[in-house]
Amino acid sequence: MKPTPPVAAFSRRRFLGQFSALAGAFALAPHLLRAQAAPGKKLGLALVGLGGYSTGQLGPALKMTEHVRLTGVVTGSPEKGRRWAAEYGFPETSVYGYDTMARMADNPDIDIVYVVTPNGLHARHAIAAAQAGKHVICEKPMANTVADCDAIIAACAAAKVRLGVGYRLHYDPFHEELRRLVRTQEFGPFMKMDGGFAFVMGRSQWRATKALAGGGPLMDLGVYVLQEALMASGEVPPVAITAKELPKERPDFFRDVEESIEWTMEFANGARCNGYTSYNSNRNDFRAEAAGGWFQIGPAYSYRGLAASTSRGPVTAKPLPSQQALQMDDFAVCVRENRATRVPGEMGRRDMVMVEAIYASAAAGGKRVEVKV
């Protein structure tokens, strides 16, 4: 059977090359120089969107951070903004609406903007933040499409600001153990991988609306499984993907997006990863096997309570007070020290290339879709 034509290409060489190409431009950016000028001062961060993730995770995490503090918000509710200003101690003049983000350019207390609105709005808000001269963290997935990711990357490059993606698991010690095993090759390359992330969605929300979410659980939960597979591969993208959308058990509820989807990633060295995600079942695990041993984690993707083991025994790690606090602190340090983040926009784009390949394969009845490296 003739394979489906390749989707948008992404290579590790391009991934690293884009960092080098931007290094000189970053060195001349005046807002980076301002951040470097006061090494002991916490950088200021504004949250764009005050929904459940900001309220339940990012806001509390910003009370634990050492290098960044909350100095503004962007919200559609001025009343909610005033409550946040009172709680976090910033002036009400640092409460903005989505249509007044450009005014942040005149606010020296805001260095970083964290976009936490629905996926379909990420590009609009990230670009607005960059044009205001602010460094940008974009919650995952980076955007609904690879084209939108490209637009965000271009806007941040033009504005000479840093761009990162909210990949909190890169700051979790259990996932760091997986990356360490890959770096040291103690077990050899992981050749067989399997992971899934799923929960039962009980109420209607924007995540089940394609225009806002870009898709169903793949865009929300499946990205974590893709990320884990790439950690286990040493950040080497797959060469091909096959996928299948599973029959809907609640078609009236999931009218606009997939309910469940599964896929297989093929890597150039012969490794394979089976992935699964759903809004109508429960999974939270990942396992990677090599000739010399294995690594598994479950719960794998939660905010806390993770547990991992290897063929040598349990993985021990000191519990983190907040993955998000470490994530935002690290980005602030990257800004201050003028260095690349470990979770750059190019990584977010790479993951959307894989997401588009999964959807393309499923739409084509499970045909093999090449992801050109």
Q: Where are the domains of the chain?
A: 4-168+325-343, 173-319
Query: What pLDDT was estimated at residue 299?
Result: 98
pLDDT at 140: 98
Using the predicted structure, report yes or no on whether residue 102 has a pLDDT greater than 60: yes
pLDDT(256) > 90:
yes
Instruction: Judge whether residue 247 has pLDDT over 70.
Output: yes
User: What is the residue type of 255?
Assistant: R
Q: Rounded to the nearest 10 degrees, what angle do helices 146-159 and 12-27 cross at?
A: 30
Mean pLDDT across the chain: 91
CA atoms within 13 A on the CB side of 60: 9
Band of pLDDT at residue 373, cut at 50, 70 and 90: low
CATH level 2 (architecture), domain 4-168+325-343: 3-Layer(aba) Sandwich (3.40)
CATH number, span 173-319: 3.30.360.10
Give the other-Cβ count within 10 Å of 40's Cβ.
6
Residue percentage of the chain with pLDDT more than 70: 89
Q: What pLDDT, on a 0 to 100 scale, did the predictor assign at position 372?
A: 80
Same fold: 4-168+325-343 with 173-319: no
Which is nearest to 86 in space by CA: 73, 97, 75?
A: 73
Distances (CA, A) of 242 to 196, 229, 264, 356: 16, 15, 5, 11
Distance, CA of 243 to CA of 360 (rounded, Å) = 8
